[in-house]
């Protein structure tokens, strides 16, 4: 996909009902991009599996989706710092029993941890940040591949973020690895495969995580989460059939 086509994805307009009857996991569902995407996907007809760690926030989002008339979502609380391969296998078994398939997976959950020079980076923090941003998406995706293979038009989307700058530490390392994971999977499951794998790098967005880590910024200069989800909706829907291995980057494409 050339640069102009990628640029057009940031202006993609999803048709009403385009995700009808699709079952889609969204991690990091209760805040920022995850929340905006969960609301939009439900509005377009998807049954969304809301994955995050705080039950109260998950329940509030469930109520909001239901009040808006979307299909009733499913809540699945997971703390990605400590979740194991067996936990994700249990999740896959539960979804198979309930739905029999999985149409979409958005590996969106992310955690910066701290901006710290490499020389002083705490190793416990390093392992936790790597777990949330890289190892958990690997384990979750691996667990869900058999379910995705049973779907008619399955799609996996990764929230990437090129952030290999000073002090980005484990977060920057993990996000680089996440983009590589997407490309490796796209290569393994080539264009003849039923599953496509793509990424979205939304750049700097006005989220709670950004405000926490950069309290002195003028946050109004950054887009809100709802303004950067168009490529996700494109990749999750039928319009992206045959498109795989693409990383859509707002800072360079739009």
Which residues have a catalytic role annotated? 171
203 burial via Cβ count (<10 Å: 0-12, 13-18, 19+): middle
Structure tokens at 156: 């996996």
Phi, psi angles (nearest 5°) of residue 163: -145, 45
Q: By the 8 A CB rule, do 30 and 57 touch?
A: yes
How far apart are the C-alpha atoms of 151 and 147, rounded to whole Å? 7
Give 127's contacts (C-beta < 8 A, 6+ positions apart). Answer: none
Residue partners of 170: CB distance under 8 A and separation at least 6? 113, 121, 125, 126, 129, 130, 133
């Amino acid at each position: 996909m050339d640069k102009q086509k990628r640029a057009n994805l940031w202006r993609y307009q999803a048709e009403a009902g385009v995700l009808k009857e699709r079952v889609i996991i969204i991690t990091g569902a209760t805040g920022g991009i995850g929340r905006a995407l969960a609301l939009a996907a439900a509005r377009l007809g998807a049954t969304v599996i809301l994955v995050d760690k705080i039950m109260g926030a998950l329940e509030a989002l469930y109520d909001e989706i239901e009040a808006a008339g979307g299909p009733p979502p499913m809540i699945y609380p997971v703390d990605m710092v400590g979740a194991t391969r067996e936990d994700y296998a249990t999740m896959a078994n539960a979804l198979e029993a309930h739905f029999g398939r999985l149409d979409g997976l958005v590996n969106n959950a992310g955690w910066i941890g701290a901006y710290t020079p490499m020389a002083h980076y705490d190793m416990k923090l390093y392992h936790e940040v790597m777990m949330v941003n890289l190892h958990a998406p690997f384990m979750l995706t691996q667990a869900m591949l058999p379910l995705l293979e049973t779907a008619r038009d399955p799609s996996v989307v990764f929230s990437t973020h090129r952030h290999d700058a000073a002090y980005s530490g484990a977060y920057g390392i993990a996000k680089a690895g996440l983009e590589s994971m997407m490309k490796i999977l796209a290569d393994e499951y080539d264009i003849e495969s039923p599953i496509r794998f793509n990424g979205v790098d939304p750049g700097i967005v006005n989220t709670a995580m950004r405000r926490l880590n950069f309290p002195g910024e003028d946050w109004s200069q950054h887009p809100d989460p709802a303004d950067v989800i168009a490529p996700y909706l494109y990749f999750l829907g039928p319009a992206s059939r045959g498109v795989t291995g693409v990383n859509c980057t707002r800072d360079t494409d739009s």
